[in-house]
Amino acid sequence: MNAYEDYMKQMAKPMREQLTTEGFDSLETPEEVESYFDKIKDNETTFVVVNSICGCAAGLARPAAVAVATQNDHKPDHSVTVFAGQEREATAKMREYIGQEPSSPSMALFKGKDLVYFMPRLHIEGRHVEEIAMDLKDAFDEHCQ
């Protein structure tokens, strides 16, 4: 690993931990992403956060994701994250499952392997964290019963 990659990993560490300390599993290789989806049952829900170093991830996406995933009455069965710009291959594999234009940060909700909700960066930046959280809450209330 070169000095730049090492520096970026160290910078990203607290950003990753903001999710993993709240129960999100970090999927860091394409094999981990595939293995995860191979094991998921059709009736189980999975909340995915495509994490990023950018400001809208730090000030909006991660706080909203953590708040709703940990406090909402209806919660997904599983919460996972991939880190765009850090684990590029894992992120690319997750984006294959998501099936939308690449966007980071972004958030997705799956029922089994079916995407039932997607929030791209376009619906994150420039909004209030409470608005983002309410959109996630509505998706969880509809699909995570």
Active site positions, annotated: 54, 56
Distance between CA atoms of 36 and 68, rounded to whole angstroms? Answer: 22
Distance between CA atoms of 98 and 93, rounded to whole angstroms? Answer: 9
Four-point Cα dihedral 101, 19, 14, 61, nearest 10 = 50
The count of residues in the chain is 145
Backbone angles phi, psi at 88, to 5 degrees: -60, -40
DSSP string computed for 49-116: EEE-SSHHIIIIIHHHHHHHHHHSSS--SEEEEEETTTSHHHHHHHHHHH-S---SSEEEEEETTEEE
